[in-house]
Amino acid sequence: MAATTPVFTRETFRFFQELARNNRKDWMDANRERYQEHVVQPFRRLLDEHLPAVMKLDANLGTGSSFSRINRDIRFAKDKTPYRPQMYLKFAAPFAGDAGELYVGLSAKTATVGFRIYSGGKRKESAIGKIAEPRIEKDGRWLAKQKTRLGRKYESYWYAVEKKEWRERGGWPPSLDDWKKLGGWIVRRKLPTAAATRTSFTRDIAAVFRDVYPLLRFTSMEE
């Protein structure tokens, strides 16, 4: 999977930096070609290059591959700026509701790679409610085992939903009781932007995906 040229360049991050300072439609319209050249096309290349390796982990992940839209849905958002100054490549588990993903994210100041899962608006119908929680009830040691396996190399944090408010919690969800109010969980490696502009970035992503894939399988993939 070694790339002969970097997928991303400094121009990718420069675009996000400038968008964060000029988050307006007139600016975006004037910089649409930059967006296509330095964001959309590299993300498409990253998707094409990683799809075979991801499908070796699980062939079904190929059906859930995509990258995020830069347009923000402002109808119900507190942030009314029209664009997100970041982009994500996602390989989602094949599940009818909200499920876990392997992902790569770039923003103005950082690159992140890892696993994430959110319950969405209907927790009982999500993979968290239908797959992950019953499995953790049966295997209470699973979370501790994953913390031992990954805790030194990866950052973990989660969101507790309390009175319809999402509250971020650091570390690994410590118990089944915590899991029952869990709305989201992220396990990731955070990298400097310079790491994403090296040819080794694709190998770095592949290594992270191999490490965190068992989290995706346990929380989101039916037998």
Q: Where are the domains of the chain?
A: 10-220
Confidence of residue 174 (pLDDT cuts 50, 70, 90): confident
Measured between alpha carbons, how far is 220 from 92 in angstroms, rounded to an integer?
9
Measured between alpha carbons, how far is 83 from 71 in angstroms, rounded to an integer?
5
Reference 88, options 212, 6, 180, 196; nearest CA is: 196
The pLDDT score that the predictor gives to residue 193 is 95
Give the mean model confidence (pLDDT) for residues 18-26: 96
By percentage, how much of the chain surpasses pLDDT 70? 98
Indicate whether this model's pTM tops 0.85: yes
Give the mean model confidence (pLDDT) for residues 190-209: 95
The pLDDT score that the predictor gives to residue 32 is 96
Measured between alpha carbons, how far is 222 from 213 in angstroms, rounded to an integer?
14
Measured between alpha carbons, how far is 88 from 38 in angstroms, rounded to an integer?
14
Mean pLDDT, the chain, rounded, equals 92
The pLDDT score that the predictor gives to residue 162 is 83
Confidence of residue 223 (pLDDT cuts 50, 70, 90): confident
**CB-neighbour burial class of residue 162 (10 A; exposed 0-12, middle 13-18, buried 19+):** exposed
3-state helix, strand, coil split of the chain in percent (to 5) is: 45, 25, 30
Contact between 207 and 184 under an 8 Å Cβ cutoff? The reply is no
- CATH number for 10-220: choose from 3.40.50, 2.40.160, 3.30.70, 3.30.930: 3.30.930
H/E element, 201? helix 201-220
Give the mean model confidence (pLDDT) for residues 105-113: 96
H/E element, 175? none
The pLDDT score that the predictor gives to residue 77 is 66
Long-range own/partner contacts, residues 171-179 (CB < 8 A, 24 or more apart):
172/143, 172/146, 172/147, 173/143, 174/143, 176/136, 176/137, 176/140, 179/132, 179/133, 179/136, 179/143
Whether pLDDT at 2 is above 60:
no
DSSP letter at 129 equals I
